Amino acid sequence: MAYEDSRLVDLYDEDNPDGPDHDFYRALADELSAEAILDLGCGTGMLTTTLARPGRVIVGIDPSASMLSYARNRPRAGAVQWVEGDSRDIPSISFDYAVMTGNVAQHIHDDEWSRTLRDLRHALRPGATLAFESRNPVSRAWEEWTSAERTTRDTKHGPLVEWMSASEVKPGAVRIQAHNLFTLADETLVEEFDLFFRDRIEIAEHLEIAGFEVAAVYGDWNRTPFSGQAPVMVFIAHAR
């Protein structure tokens, strides 16, 4: 499982800072006047805690105990119900807004993807909104991720040497190996995981089968309609 070592978790927010993607999801929550929000795959809780408002119910779920430990120490963390697990562990609350941000949707294996969407539909009231993004496989972004060159940066845990490889192990499935050498400890951590690249038609079909109606697909965080070539697909779907 990715991001179980606390040293890597400590660096996660630096590598994945708050930005226009989080602004998009926060704005949508306000537009929907969402009162019960689910953040599935919440990670360190950066977005989750900023969704907190008086009167809102916020639930953050993640399979990584280390990530959740970090999240629980954030400002406003007490306003969030934190759950270790996946979509099978969603509490029995009628949510009106659910999000999967970053690479969450792509971390979900094909044999779990349909079940996850069904679980989300069950957790959302009719008319509620599901929002998430996924990389467009046409862009083949993973082809730029492999680098034999090693980079070094200073961290709170001392110098860190990093390099990465990515390979398509089958159509739409890319295996990532991220190497992290903490020089002071002389220890190399290798995170290996798969990312699943699904196209727009495939994702839309799975949403329909799970009980959602696709309302919009954007190609950026400014809500530009997806053209087919944009590197990201941002899905907005409503529970039927």
pLDDT by residue (tens digit) across 5-55? Answer: 899 999 999 999 999 999 999 999 999 999 999 999 999 999 999 999 999
CB half-sphere exposure, 99, CA atoms < 13 A: 26
Chain centre distance of CA 226: 20
| pTM to 2 decimal places | 0.95
Nearest C-alpha neighbor of 4 from the set 153, 184, 178: 178
Query: How much is the pLDDT for 2?
Result: 61
Laid out side by side, the sheet with 173-182 consists of 147-155, 158-170, 173-182, 187-196
Residue 213 CA to residue 230 CA, distance in Å, equals 22
pLDDT by residue (tens digit) across 85-126? Answer: 999 999 999 999 999 999 999 999 999 999 999 999 999 999
CB 105 within 8 A of CB 98: no
Residues 6+ away with beta carbon under 8 Å from 17: none
pLDDT by residue (tens digit) across 2-19? Answer: 678 899 999 999 999 999
Q: Tell me whether strands 57-62 and 80-84 are parallel, antiparallel or unpaired.
A: parallel
